[in-house]
Amino acid sequence: MTERTPLRVGVLVFDDFVLSNLAGPIDVLRIAQRIAELRDPRVGPLFETCVFAVDPTLRPCCSTGLSLAGVAAPTDAVDIVLVPGIMHSSPKGLIDRVLAMRGEQELLRRLAARGVRIAATCSGTFLLAASGLLDGHRATTSWWLANAFQRQFPRVNLQADAMVIDDGAVLTTGAATAVFDLVLKLVAQVAGEAVAQQTARMMNVDPERQSQAPYVSQALMQRPRSSITERADALINRELHRELPVGALAEALNTSERSLLRHFRSHYGVTPLEHIQHLRVERAKALLETTLLSFEEVVGRCGYSDVSSFRKLFKRATTLTPADYRERFRLRAS
pLDDT tens string 285-324: 889 988 889 999 999 999 888 999 999 999 998 989 999 9
Spatial CA neighbour of 284 closest among 306, 304, 299: 299
In this model, does residue 168 exceed pLDDT 80? yes
**What percent of the chain has pLDDT above 90?**
63
Please state, in angstroms and rounded to a whole number, the distance separating the CA atoms of residues 224 and 309: 31
At residue 3 the predicted structure's pLDDT band, cuts being 50, 70 and 90, is low
- Please say if the pLDDT value at position 1 is more than 50: no
pLDDT tens profile 181-233:
999 999 999 999 999 999 999 988 887 777 777 776 665 555 555 667 778 88
223-329: CATH topology is Arc Repressor Mutant, subunit A (1.10.10)
Third-level CATH fold of 7-212: Rossmann fold (3.40.50)
Give Cα 10 to chain centroid, integer Å: 21
Residue closest to 67 by CA, chosen among 81, 83, 51, 78 = 51
Pair 87, 63: CB distance under 8 Å: yes
Count the neighbouring beta carbons within 10 Å of the beta carbon of residue 261: 16
Whole-number pLDDT of residue 210: 72
- Compute the distance between CA of residue 140 and CA of residue 121 in angstroms, rounded to an integer: 9
- The separation between the first and the last C-alpha atoms of the chain, rounded to the nearest angstrom, is 52
CATH 3.40.50.880 region(s) of the chain? 7-212
Handedness of CA 174, 175, 180, 181 (dihedral sign): negative
Bridge partners of 81, per DSSP, are 10, 118
- The tens digit of pLDDT for each residue in 77-135 reads 999 999 999 999 899 999 999 999 999 999 999 999 999 999 999 999 999 999 999 99
Return the pLDDT at 154.
Answer: 95
- Model confidence at 175, in pLDDT bands (50, 70, 90)? confident
Question: Whole-model pTM?
Answer: 0.75
HSE-up (13 A, CA, CB side) for residue 25? 32
pLDDT value of residue 223: 56
